């Protein structure tokens, strides 16, 4: 029997915009002081999982988090733009009240659709979940496929993109995603390759060291 491969999905540390509730999307916002501390705290926990490869979004908040993991593991980071967060279009840089004030019709449509990253179609210029999955799933599949049976791939990315990708990798209906809370900053999840072309299996969701409370995804 072939040993399963393991995929560890890690969200980046906190940014000032996370703390303010601003939508970051693909804007390049760095970690704040808390985020740096979170990355330093989670790095030994990821190292204990013995990853064989380390991939990361090329956005600074993810790349800086991955650098802390690289220091703890001795691995080199492979940066990949396909692992970026949703492009949030007109919401970028705005809090929800600011979005409502600047784009009232679009805010109303987005709210009516569910008011989440997964309902981004109502926001001008935003990526849909299908758009995100078309780029992120091949990257995650390549990362996992790059390790031998029994090996572990760690990928550092972003909250909403990782949640959408996890639901797809598990073969769950998208409606089920509403029951899965978002990843905390520096929260990580563990998925195992069931083999024979089957969907991955969820081993753990949103494991964190004992630090900051949940902040908005992105």
Catalytic residue among 85, 106, 118, 127: 85
- Using CA atoms, how far apart are residues 54 and 79, in angstroms rounded to an integer? 9
Active site residue 76: no
- Using CA atoms, how far apart are residues 79 and 28, in angstroms rounded to an integer? 14
Catalytic residue among 12, 103, 158, 188: 12
Distances (CA, A) of 80 to 72, 75, 139: 20, 16, 8
Distances (CA, A) of 6 to 3, 51, 96, 113, 172: 10, 9, 36, 34, 19
Active site residue 107: no
- Contact residues for 92 (Cβ-Cβ < 8 A; gap 6+): 23, 24, 25, 26, 27
**DSSP annotation string for 37-88:** HHHHHHHHHHHTT--SEEEE-SSHHHHHHHHHHHHHH-PPEEE-GGGPPPPB
Question: Residue 185's beta-bridge partner residues?
Answer: none
- Using CA atoms, how far apart are residues 208 and 181, in angstroms rounded to an integer? 14
Contact between residue 217 and residue 22 where contact means Cβ atoms under 8 Å apart: no
Q: Which sequence positions are flagged as catalytic?
A: 12, 85
């Amino acid at each position: 029997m072939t040993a399963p491969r393991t995929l560890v999905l890690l969200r980046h540390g906190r940014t000032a915009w996370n703390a303010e509730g601003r939508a970051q999307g693909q804007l390049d916002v760095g970690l704040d002081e808390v985020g740096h501390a979170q990355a330093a705290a989670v790095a030994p926990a990821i190292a204990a999982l013995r990853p064989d490869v380390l991939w990361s979004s090329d956005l600074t908040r993810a790349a800086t988090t991955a650098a802390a993991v690289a220091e703890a593991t001795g691995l080199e980071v492979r940066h990949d733009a396909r692992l970026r967060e949703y492009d949030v279009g007109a919401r970028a840089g705005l809090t929800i009240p600011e979005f409502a004030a600047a784009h009232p019709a679009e805010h109303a449509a987005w709210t009516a659709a569910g008011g989440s990253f997964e309902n981004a179609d109502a926001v001008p210029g935003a990526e849909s979940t299908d758009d995100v999955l078309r780029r992120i799933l091949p990257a995650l599949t390549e990362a996992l496929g790059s390790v031998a049976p029994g090996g572990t791939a760690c990928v550092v990315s972003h909250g909403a993109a990782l949640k959408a990708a996890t639901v797809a990798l598990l073969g769950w209906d998208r409606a089920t995603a509403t029951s899965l809370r978002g990843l905390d900053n520096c929260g990580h999840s563990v998925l195992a390759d069931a083999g024979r072309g089957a969907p991955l299996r969820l081993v753990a969701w949103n494991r964190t060291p004992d630090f900051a409370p949940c902040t908005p995804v992105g």
